[in-house]
Chains A and B, each alone.
Chain A
Amino acid sequence: MPSMSLLSMAGCKVLVLAAVTSVLSLILVPAADAQTVTMTISPSTITFASADPDTTPSVAAPSITVTYRVQNNVSGSWRISLLAGGDLTAGSATIGINNVTWTASPTPTFQAGTLSRTLAQTLASGTGNVPLGTTGTVVFRLANSWTYNVGSYSTSVVFTITAP
């Protein structure tokens, strides 16, 4: 009821301003739904098999499928990055994580790179929404070497999708 009094006191110009405010509110309703990103990685474990460095200078692991979706991101950017938890380690033995590279598809959304334990590396990027069920494929490769000591090495790699 106080608003009714205000309108009657201010006249037609106040009514116009009230209408403008209402329009702004309607436009901003969709923005209240923040960007939503989802991602699944499969499989969650990959292994580089032992191989002769002379005949297999680069050891490929089974491919990984990244399934992702981006919503409410009409004109915003999104990115999938990779960050290794550390070098490959087996007790005191280590293999530098920079010996692990990857190739990925489809390009150019996905790109090749080299793992790092200090700086997240871009695996994929784009703008806008990404529909449900969109996938990318990543194949990691280990540069083989006679200098690697015997052992069962492991580390973790974190995939992160961010929008915008």
Chain B
Amino acid sequence: MKQPVILVLGIAFASLAATQGLGAATATGNVTVSATVAATAKLTLSSATVTFANADPDSSPSIAATEGAITITTKGKTSTNGTIALTLLAANDLKSGTDTIAISNVTWTATGAGFAAGTMNKTTAQTVGSWTNSNSRTRTQSFALANSWAYATGSYTATATYTLTAP
């Protein structure tokens, strides 16, 4: 009569031992992951040339550029709350031999947040647009020349430089 009791106790002991032997094993390792983001600026213009066609000052007091609006793509990385700025500086007045048309007769309008209208200047860089934080933006800029009967005939040229700054 006592024999089955002895057997049950033996199995109970065996089960307890098995549970203790199958505990989960764990090991860990740490890796530090770093990323460096450096100040970067990229500027792309849809056209490197702006042309103003000859026109009657009476009927066309303002001559729009033949190329139409220029698409400007700016990409910049700056510090948190840092300002990225796009400026434009003319190298000189429009010149044709000894004849000149003051560069201040060239103005622009712009579309898109952060960009604004302005007037070209040969001494002080003019802000075309500015914004804070790193970003990629595509905007348009449309140039116009204030027409005048006072302009001597000729083919005038000038260069201007865009500068995108991401401090």
A→B interface (CB under 8 Å)? 10, 13-14, 17-18, 20-21, 24-25, 28, 30-41, 43-50, 52-54, 59, 61, 64, 66, 73, 76, 84, 88, 90-93, 95, 100, 140, 142, 146-164
Q: A38-B27, A45-B32 are in contact. Are A33 and B21 (CB under 8 A)?
A: yes
CB atoms of A25 and B14 under 8 A apart? yes
Among A46, A88, A149, A164, the residue within 8 A (CB) of B31 is: A46
CB nearest neighbor in B for A95: B35
Task: Give me the interface of B with A, judged by CB distance under 8 Å.
Answer: 2-3, 6-7, 10-11, 13-14, 17-18, 20-40, 42, 75-80, 82, 133-136
A18 to B2, CA, bound (A): 13
Which residue from A17, A93, A161 sits with its C-beta under 8 Å from B80?
A93
Once bound together, how far apart are the Cα atoms of A142 and B20, in whole Å? 43
> Which residue from A34, A52, A64 sits with its C-beta under 8 Å from B22?
A34
Can you show 6 pairs from A to B with CB atoms below 8 A apart?
A: A35-B24, A45-B31, A88-B33, A147-B133, A149-B82, A154-B32
B30–A158 touching, CB < 8 Å:
yes
Q: A154-B34, A154-B35 are in contact. Are A31 and B18 (CB under 8 A)?
A: yes
Interface centre among B10, B11, B39 (most CB of A within 10 A): B10
A79–B105 CA distance with the chains assembled, in angstroms:
72
A156 to B11, CA, bound (A): 48
